[in-house]
Amino acid sequence: MKRIISPRRLTAMTASICALAGIGAGAASAAPSTNAVTKTFSFIAKSNSTTRTVVNIDSLLINARCDSSGRPIVFAFTSAGSTDIFGRVFDGFGRLHVFKNTSFTNKTKGIQLSPLSGDFDATGSVLFETSTGKVVTVNIAFDNSTTLVNQNVCTVFGTLIAS
């Protein structure tokens, strides 16, 4: 009877399978957070409002205000030395506004989350991670005046999940 696989090939194949299993186990070893925090936030203000903090968790700070035309102006900042921030916002016209910064630091001036032009009725998500493994996911929506059944206000609202 002739062998189909030689002992050398069998050893090499076994080593390859073990290496692949080790890579998979390494990637799967990230422990889920057991102390996750979920919060909601709501900002409602008239035109020319002062800036208010709507999110402040795990080194991520998000501020909101209404400009003179009643449009929401939303910025993100960090107090950490090295983070990543990524986001996608769809405005009321269906246009996609994307932002990313893999060098987001406490020296960064801030990243505008609200659309720069177009329809300011928008919704999107922001994903933020620190170099220490803290993660914040923010689902956010904006609405310019008039809103909330013809009130002359702008709104910024949403939810966050933080590790």
Q: Give, for all 163 residues of the chain, the pLDDT tens digit.
A: 555 555 655 555 555 555 545 544 444 445 666 788 999 999 999 999 999 999 999 999 999 999 998 899 999 999 999 999 999 999 888 899 999 999 999 998 899 999 877 677 899 999 999 999 999 999 999 998 888 888 889 999 999 999 8
* Residue 138 contacts residue 61 (beta carbons within 8 Å): no
| pLDDT, position 26 | 45
**Residue 31 DSSP SS3:** coil
As given in the structure block, the two tokens for residue 147 are: 């809103």
CA-only gyration radius of the chain, Å: 23
Q: Which residues contact 79 (CB under 8 A, 6 or more apart)?
A: 59, 61, 106
| pLDDT, position 27 | 45
